[in-house]
Structure 1
Amino acid sequence: MTPSRAERADPVHVTPNTRARYRRILRFAAWHLTLTWWFELVLPRLGMARMANRSRPKRMRRFAQRFHVLAVELGGLMIKVGQFMSSRLDVLPPEITEELEGLQDEVPPVLFPAIRILAETQLGAPLESVFAWVDQTPIAAASLGQVHRAHLLPNDIADTGLNNVVVKVQRPGISDIVDVDLAALRKVGGWLSHIRLVSKRVNAPALVEEFATTSLQEIDYLHEAANLERFATEFADDARVLVPGVVWERTTRQVLTLEDVTAIKITDLPALRSAGIDPAQIAPVFASIMFDQLFTLGFFHADPHPGNIFLTPVPTAAAGHPWKLTFVDFGMMGEVPPATRSGLRKLLIAAAARDGKGLVAAISNIGVLVPSANTAELERAMTQLFARFGGMGFAELREVDPREFRDFAAEFGDVVRSLPFQLPENFLLIIRAMSLTSGVCSSLNPRFNLWDSVEPYAAQLLREERGNIVKDVATQMLDAAAGTFRLPKRLDGLLASLEDGSISVTNPRLERQMVRMNRMLRLGVGAVIFGALLISGSAVRADDLVLGSVLMGVSVVPLVFGFWAGRRRR
């Protein structure tokens, strides 16, 4: 009887050969979660936020370096996690993204004899009787499999019309490794679910399960081949896109044979320029194609990192376009349900129109904000954000005076943090696809401005949804008319509330004053704790040198707390 996915991922089923791997992942996660808890939650509450802020870049760099080592040594899903972090140029600090950049290219290949055994077992025949030639040196070694060039036999050439192919073979034993990694990630997700700061924003176990589903699909090459053909059908009439053909007769769950479409890697800037192609012209086309997948088709490539996208020069006369974007590796695909897709389209239109209120309404409809959230202050924050920073690309944002960002954060930071944000299910792949798209576009053109692509695409969506917009406008007019008739009554209610003193006002600045008063109170508490620990340590040290020294050492923490809290009070 084959165990279920949950049974295979349970730590009880981790074999002796993989137990060390499981424990190593958990030790790494536990240590860095503890460090994050200490520096980001404990120290700020002790009045030492400045100390935590000063050490943050160094800590981020050290974390990325250690994860880099862990991912390269373990491979498996750890490479996938590292890839995701390296792509978040728009969110994660450069200390992390730069260290993890190129992580995929560092995966060591499996020796060909092991690949031969697995391929021959899957295909049911020696490689010499299945292919005319197979290159023993892989052209790509990924975390879950590796790719070798090959030539088909004459009969297969006649049937498929293809000669040069690539054969993608799974890494031997990768299924067991994926199970162990998922077991570890499920454990970490369980830890995160008990941290209120995380659990109120995101259902970490649900996200892990979403990641588990896509990972298990990714090691089923029949599923990948079906995804590829569906994607090819969607873009059959698009002159900008090229997709390889599948050789089904030489494809199984662990072996995938495809047309060889290897060309120029999309981020190989010197090769692109040598071919007479301006990398800056590729970025808006790539962004537009990804927009089509997410906002129109609802079926999208969820792993568009540079290793999975080539640029293929073609004769202009033959294709109507001087080059095509060639997508490969369709193991990780995502689907956007119609309701979510509609919400994403409205979000894109609102962003292009710099409509703060419309943006907040869209993210509420998608499910990023819980229905009970009071969004008035967030709407004001988004409106001012658009007014000052709207339309800027990443390069322009880097040139803005940091004091402007600090002023904005001081005014609206408490508002944003207090809102009940959450990450809906099925959103992990959407975020991954958009973050990778942003990273690739920034690599092609450091001054790439996403707004330049968003605005024309949003205008196109507006034209397509003109009927819906007319309906929305009519609804808004009716609402406005109804509001006008209700206005006198609402004014009477407001005056009554003012008279009886029952009006409630939300003032983030007043709340910050209360926080400062709390810090002053903690000054006295810190001093008392410092004295108690120091005296206790001195008394115990005579009988127990270790315990006494520890108590005296720990007393430094409330001492520093008192110093910093005192400075803040003055």
Structure 2
Amino acid sequence: MNDLSSVLFPRSRISGLSGQFIRCFFHFTIFCAIMRRLCGGRMRSTILRMRYWRIVLFFARVALGIVFWDIFLRRVGLGFLARSTRPRRLRQIAIRFRALAIRLGGVMIKVGQFLSARLDVLPPEITDELSGLQDEVPPVDYEPIRLQTELELGSAIEKAFLTFEKAPVAAASLGQVHRARLFPHEAEALGFDCVVVKILRPNIEQIVDVDMSALRVVGGWLKRYRPVSDRADVPAIVEEFATILREELDYLSEGKNAEAFGANFEGDGGVHVPRVAWNRTTRRVLTLEDVTAIKITDYDAITAAGVNRAEVAERLLSTYLKQIFEDGFFHADPHPGNLFVLPLPEKNEDGSAKFRLTFIDFGMVGRMPDTLVEGLREAAISVGLQDAPRLIKSYQTLGVLLPGANIKLLEEASAQVFDRFWGMSMNELRSIRHDEMMKFGLQFRELLLNMPFQLPENLLLLGRTIGILSGMCTGLNPEFNLWLQLAPYARKLTEGEGGSAFDVFLDEAGGFFKTLLAIPGRAERVLGRMERGELNVQMPLVNLQVSYLEKSVNRLTGGIVFLGLLVAGAILYDEHTLLAQGFFGGAGVALAYMLFLARGKRPFR
């Protein structure tokens, strides 16, 4: 360092106190730069480590609460306490997670946005609290965004864009968006001048790595919990999610996805996709045509524009049916911030305004392998035709059934669902009488408790997308009827199988007559077995319900004995300590007996 200072500040030119002062200042500047580099790295590492532990400890607290309230108390006969406090507990968990997600950002925002859109599955205590995450992502200050943009584009913002708004239009979990305008010569070549510039948040790659490390730990916990591990390879799902996030961090890939999606809907005037300004796009900066319109969840604005909300829901579903079953390539992040409704001047016959459905943000897309498309195609056809056996076969093709699942019971339950609930809108399904749902639940209680389903990792994106889509269509139109929308599409797919509707009719008629011709032979065999006394009648539902009643009675008996002995011991503890200890010991035996039953063991007889 002395040699360097001598070169920069030779003694022949600088001498005396002024020269010493300059050299000292130079040495001090270098020392500060080195310490800032060292301490800055350590500080950043410490912050990331604290972030990791905050995520892990949050989920650990949630897991312990679930173990105590929903597992332990139910097994010892105190499930009523868990049920009575459930709404309050769920709301508190959602409030704490929302605060954590807003403070930390990153992957936690993605998780919260997914949960908030599951209106059809999750209780309102969770979805209501997390709904604000769609719009409450805090933005990054302009200066770091400006530096990153200029570094990526290789020029000052003033030279890259005619205008660039400092205030962000939207802030997302991984990046944020600013409006800008292109220079006239570029706008003329591209066909648009108003653009949105999407910039990755600084250091977001490190944040995503830390968040995924924490989620891997949580996935390891869930892997050890049999009800979850039997149904899903959680570590594989976490790795699939990590792969998806890495793709979202590459804006060049997102630009290519947008172009591929637009090509699939080329010529469809009802769907619009923004065009890419490739000369202003890099891996961390993406410049797109500005296609901002009415947000798809701004129901009042959609109605005020004269657009039929029910038609919006129908078009949204039809576009996804095309994406999944025809293109094999779908937009996998349809949350409200990524979908817009653009009213058009033209009118429909009913007087409502025509509109265009606009998709943005193609960082998260799904690609469908042939086996997955075939399984989903079979499922759609079977639902549209109310064919329960065919539906269960499609589950097997998709790999969502656990080994050893009771196929006959699943077919019967699916047939009952078609008979009782097919054709109902989401609003009608919500208004089903409680006693009717209880009757169905009791009839198939063992099936509902065991839930012989698993989630393959290749269905992660699709399951997330369908969940968000279902909630969004219901929000647009509470009377939205999935069955009626799916039936025509199922018939279209069925016609595609045989080449024409007449071919399908011949296939179905052939199967019917084949079954009809086999009836006399089957009847003769059944009558013969009856005459020989060899006919056995199987009633699996009755046997399952009897088994469940036996377990319930045994648990109830054990719970009463446990509470009685525990209360007796508490009353006698002050005056008859030895006797009270005996009662406590008996309560311990009763508790062990209940835990023994809870593991599925049969009582001694």
TM-score, normalised via structure 1 length: 0.86
Q: From the superposition, tell whether residues 537 and 497 of structure 1 become closer, same or farther in structure 2 (CA, over 3 Å).
A: farther
CA distance in 2, matches of 1:166, 1:188: 37
Which residue, 508, 526, 551 being the options, matches 2:562?
526
Kindly indicate whether the alpha-carbon contact (under 8 Å) linking 1:201 and 1:422 is maintained by their aligned counterparts in 2.
Answer: yes
Q: From the superposition, tell whether residues 338 and 486 of structure 1 become closer, same or farther in structure 2 (CA, over 3 Å).
A: farther
Which residue, 497, 510, 520 being the options, matches 2:546?
510
1:279-358 correspondence runs (5 A): 279-316=309-346, 322-358=354-390
Kindly indicate whether the alpha-carbon contact (under 8 Å) linking 1:378 and 1:416 is maintained by their aligned counterparts in 2.
Answer: no
Q: From the superposition, tell whether residues 368 and 485 of structure 1 become closer, same or farther in structure 2 (CA, over 3 Å).
A: farther
SS at match of 1:316: strand
For residue 229 of structure 2, what is the aligned residue in structure 1?
199
**1:198 deviation in Å?**
0.6
Q: Partner letter of residue 410 of structure 1?
A: L
SS at match of 2:307: coil
Q: Partner letter of residue 407 of structure 1?
A: K
Once the two structures are superposed, residues 519-540 of structure 1 have per-residue CA deviations (whole angstroms, 9 ceiling, x without a partner) of: 155247625973898699989x
1:339-488 correspondence runs (5 A): 339-370=371-402, 372-467=404-499, 473=508, 476=511, 480=515, 487=522
**1:47 deviation in Å?**
1.3
Q: Which moved more, 1:375-384 or 1:250-259?
A: 375-384
Backbone CA RMSD of aligned residues = 3.4
For residue 89 of structure 2, what is the aligned residue in structure 1?
59
Q: From the superposition, tell whether residues 91 and 483 of structure 1 become closer, same or farther in structure 2 (CA, over 3 Å).
A: farther
Which residue, 269, 274, 280 being the options, matches 1:244?
274
For residue 220 of structure 1, what is the aligned residue in structure 2?
250
Q: Partner letter of residue 288 of structure 2?
A: L
Kindly indicate whether the alpha-carbon contact (under 8 Å) linking 1:530 and 1:558 is maintained by their aligned counterparts in 2.
Answer: no
Q: From the superposition, tell whether residues 124 and 51 of structure 1 become closer, same or farther in structure 2 (CA, over 3 Å).
A: same
Structure 1 unaligned residues grouped into runs of 5+: 1-13, 542-547, 566-570
Kindly indicate whether the alpha-carbon contact (under 8 Å) linking 1:415 and 1:508 is maintained by their aligned counterparts in 2.
Answer: no
Once the two structures are superposed, residues 94-143 of structure 1 have per-residue CA deviations (whole angstroms, 9 ceiling, x without a partner) of: 11111111312001111111100001111111111111110101111111
SS at match of 1:465: helix
Query: Aligned residue pairs: how many?
Result: 537
Kindly indicate whether the alpha-carbon contact (under 8 Å) linking 1:273 and 1:279 is maintained by their aligned counterparts in 2.
Answer: yes
Kindly indicate whether the alpha-carbon contact (under 8 Å) linking 1:370 and 1:421 is maintained by their aligned counterparts in 2.
Answer: yes
CA distance in 2, matches of 1:334, 1:19: 32
TM-score, normalised via structure 2 length: 0.81
CA distance in 1, matches of 2:369, 2:185: 43
For residue 7 of structure 1, what is the aligned residue in structure 2?
none
CA distance in 2, matches of 1:464, 1:503: 39
Q: From the superposition, tell whether residues 485 and 333 of structure 1 become closer, same or farther in structure 2 (CA, over 3 Å).
A: farther
Q: From the superposition, tell whether residues 137 and 530 of structure 1 become closer, same or farther in structure 2 (CA, over 3 Å).
A: same
Q: Which moved more, 1:381-390 or 1:460-469?
A: 460-469
Q: Which has the larger radius of gyration?
A: 2
For residue 154 of structure 1, what is the aligned residue in structure 2?
184
**1:340 deviation in Å?**
1.2
CA distance in 1, matches of 2:324, 2:528: 46
Once the two structures are superposed, residues 356-394 of structure 1 have per-residue CA deviations (whole angstroms, 9 ceiling, x without a partner) of: 222222222211113542211121112112211221122
Q: Partner letter of residue 400 of structure 2?
A: V
Asked if 1:26 corresponds to 2:26, the answer is: no
Kindly indicate whether the alpha-carbon contact (under 8 Å) linking 2:134 and 2:336 is maintained by their aligned counterparts in 1.
Answer: no
Asked if 1:231 corresponds to 2:261, the answer is: yes
For residue 126 of structure 1, what is the aligned residue in structure 2?
156
Q: Partner letter of residue 519 of structure 1?
A: R
**1:447 deviation in Å?**
2.2
CA distance in 2, matches of 1:117, 1:496: 90
CA distance in 2, matches of 1:92, 1:531: 38
Q: From the superposition, tell whether residues 529 and 211 of structure 1 become closer, same or farther in structure 2 (CA, over 3 Å).
A: farther
**1:436 deviation in Å?**
1.4
CA distance in 1, matches of 2:234, 2:125: 24
CA distance in 1, matches of 2:213, 2:506: 49
Structure 2 unaligned residues grouped into runs of 5+: 1-43, 348-352, 599-605
CA distance in 1, matches of 2:236, 2:524: 46
Q: Partner letter of residue 279 of structure 2?
A: E
Q: Which moved more, 1:457-466 or 1:423-432?
A: 457-466
CA distance in 1, matches of 2:214, 2:361: 26
For residue 109 of structure 1, what is the aligned residue in structure 2?
139
CA distance in 1, matches of 2:134, 2:477: 22
Q: From the superposition, tell whether residues 215 and 531 of structure 1 become closer, same or farther in structure 2 (CA, over 3 Å).
A: same
SS at match of 2:238: helix
**1:490 deviation in Å?**
7.2
CA distance in 1, matches of 2:63, 2:494: 44
CA distance in 2, matches of 1:178, 1:495: 68
Q: From the superposition, tell whether residues 494 and 19 of structure 1 become closer, same or farther in structure 2 (CA, over 3 Å).
A: farther
